[in-house]
Structure 1
Amino acid sequence: MTTYEGNFGIRQIGLRMGISAQTENNLIGKAYRWGGYLGFRGFILKLQKSKISGTLTWNQNVDPVVFPGFIKSQNFSNEYFNVDLIKVAKKKRYIDGKWVVTPAESQIGFYWGIGYTSLAYPVELSTLVTEGGRENQVFGKPAYDPKYSVKSYNIGFGFDILRQLCLTGGRYGMTPGKPAMPFGVYFITQDKVGFGPGTITNYGVDMAEALNPGRIVVADKFFNVMVHYTLSLGVRYYFRTGPAAYIFAVGYDFEGAAMIPFGGAADTNKDLGFDFTGAFFNHGVSFKLFVTFNRDWK
């Protein structure tokens, strides 16, 4: 995975715009995720859209008489969408009877916010059966769903040193009373947790019931918990020319997420439950460019 990111801002009116693209790490360089954001004052609205695509293959044998609709291998291309509204926080201390912003301590760029994510991806379905009672559940014959879909409402927080450096034009560094150094390291991180519905398609339900005859799926909808984490580490170079500030950065990005559905246990010998999770992990080189203007920096 390779990430390209750039943004432009007019600091004096608090306006900032940015775009980003991620490509597969190969010679073709096919873009598979793009996004952008718009910031005003201390708020930033971020959008991302892409496709999760590939080929799934089921390696277990399935009798076509038992499940006539079985597909051993198929391509998939599912939509991914994410929107976040975040608030940039400033570090304050209580000095002489009032709260005062401390510029040096604010350079870590802490933020928090809310968001929404929708995505779909293939998943292996471990089934659960019992002769009576949840305490006696055992695994049945597994199946798969080509498009388990999730809609997640999220809360999150993180740090972004590069964005904060851009917002201040490098006037404040990590050392109190001194401006930012031309060369330095950076880190960007975000933790996010979300809750919402997850749904299995009819294909997954039909396959599970066909391979476990005499039992009926207890639920095709679940309460899904999403845990998502991103981290970017690297080096950056910063310089100012008149009212403009420029930041160039190169680093390495890590991204991981887990989807954990709840519900769907088997209680009777006629029930067919599900027990499954989904996860993904991406990593790769990133290149970032930031440009900002403020007439007061002359």
Structure 2
Amino acid sequence: MLKKSLVVLALMAGVICSAVAESKRDTIPPFIGVSYIPSRSWFVHHITTNDGDFLKYNFRGTSMSSYEGSFGIKSIGMRFGVSAEVDDNIIGKVQRYGGYLGLKGFWLKLQGGSVAGSVNWLGELPPGFSDYYSFNNKTFSIELLRNFTKKRYIDGKWQVSEFESQYGFFWGIGYQTFAMPVKVSTLITEGGRVNQQLGVPAYDTNFSAKYYTIGAGFDLLRQLSLSGGRFGLVSGVPPMRFALYASTQDKLGFGSSQLSDHAKAMGEALNPDKTMVDTKGFSYGGFYYLSVGFRYLIYAKPVFIILATGYDLEGAGIINFGGAADTNVDLGYDTNMFYVNHGVSVKIYVSWVGK
């Protein structure tokens, strides 16, 4: 972890110094922020439990890295294997051609991590299937973000709230992927969706989903970085060198989910004479992020540095549409779930403030 942090610091110093001229073309100062969570604890709950809670998780090696900034982030992300999918989605393409589209004042955030471990299946097991599976999946997200000024409706008109604006409120659009083993509650019917009932459950070794997201939040660390440490929460008073910080974000995601061949084969084996319906469907995700901790400011012109350590919490509810059984030969499914992960994080922000 120490070696990786030193490499990141060296990369940031080089990129910042070489990009001063380039930053003049944008409306935000050059900055880079890096966050690293070496290990996360997980909790997963499947919403349908009437057919049993048979899938048990043992997570390990679940790290998370985030890189954000107004320039040079792609090269840094690539150095650590985060940006492999940057251009493989609409958000990445918009960012790539943002200069031609006049997207000034936006910055890019990349996030990549691992979700690794094993699962044990305690339910009914058909011949040829294992009750144990080891997994190691990658997660990825890319976001285009921009600050906005907080306003309040006072005396019959909207007025800027100077105090709240220093919280660093932002909004953005993004793209993210998700994959992990899940329990599959099967659905059968004698005829019609209104007569559906639970069949024999199975599990999927590699359920996956992809979402386009829109979200908003606030980030005190990023706001300090964007202002070069000149402004605190109290107007006219510079920020304290050592203090608490907080950041949060809510996102809504819409996209598609996909069951693997394992879920289809196991579900059909456990429910004879049934054929699983289309394993791809529309999916909705509600995502929440919170980080709180302590930060320390370093004024070392021409750069301004923020060092922070805290505790990060991320949660999501995954609702999948489709998968209904309409006839007596259909095998429907339900994979709705929510999860929470959390862990200690270290963060560093570096911005160029000039001489």
Whether 1:46 and 2:77 are equivalent positions in the alignment is no
- How far residue 242 of structure 1 moved from its aligned partner, in angstroms, is 4.8
CA 1:161–1:24 in structure 2 vs 1: closer, same or farther (change >3 Å)?
same
Comparing both structures, which one devotes a greater share of its residues to helix? 2
TM-score, scaled to structure 1: 0.84
| 1:179 and 2:238 are equivalent in the alignment | yes
Q: Deviation digits for residues 234-262 of structure 1, max 9, x if unmatched?
A: 22232435544332322211111222101
The letter for the 1-side match of 2:63 is Y
How many residues are treated as equivalent by the alignment? 285
Conserved? CA contact 2:242–2:295, under 8 Å: yes
Do structure 1's residue 154 and structure 2's residue 195 form an aligned pair?
no
In structure 1, the partner of 2:31 is: 16
Q: Indicate how the Cα distance of structure 1 residues 79 and 252 shifts in structure 2: closer, same or farther if over 3 A, else same.
A: closer
* Structure with the largest fraction of strand: 1
| C-alpha separation in 1, matches of 2:106 and 2:352 | 18
Q: Residue 101 of structure 1: CA displacement? A: 7.0
1:126 and 1:25 map into 2 onto residues whose CA distance is 27
Larger Rg, first or second structure (1 or 2): 1
Q: Which residue of 1 aligns with 2:68?
A: 37
Q: State whether structure 2 residue 280 is matched by structure 1 residue 221.
A: yes
Aligned residue type for 2:32: M
User: In terms of mean alpha carbon deviation, does 223-232 or 248-257 score higher?
Assistant: 248-257
- Contact residue 104 and residue 172 of structure 1 kept, 8 A: no
**Corresponding residue of 1:255:** 314
Q: Flag structure 1 segments of 5+ consecutive residues without an equivalent.
A: none
- Structure 2 gaps, min length 5: 42-59, 72-103
Amino acid at match of 2:121: W
Deviation at 1:277, TM superposition (A): 1.6
- Note the alpha carbon deviations across 1:53-96, whole angstroms, 9 max, x for none: 111111123241xxx3x1221211222121111112234689xx
- CA deviation profile, 1:133-180 (whole Å, cap 9, x unmatched): 222211100011101111111111110011111221232221122222
RMSD of Structure 2 on Structure 1 (CA): 3.0
Is the 2:215–2:252 Cα contact (8 Å) retained in structure 1?
yes
Between 1:41-50 and 1:80-89, the stretch displaced more is 41-50
Displaced runs of 4 or more, over 6 A: 4-8, 99-102
Q: How does 1:202-281 map to 2 (within 5 A)?
A: 202-281=261-340
Retained in 1: the 8 A contact 2:34–2:349? no
* Paired letter, 1:162: L
* TM-score where L is the length of structure 2: 0.72
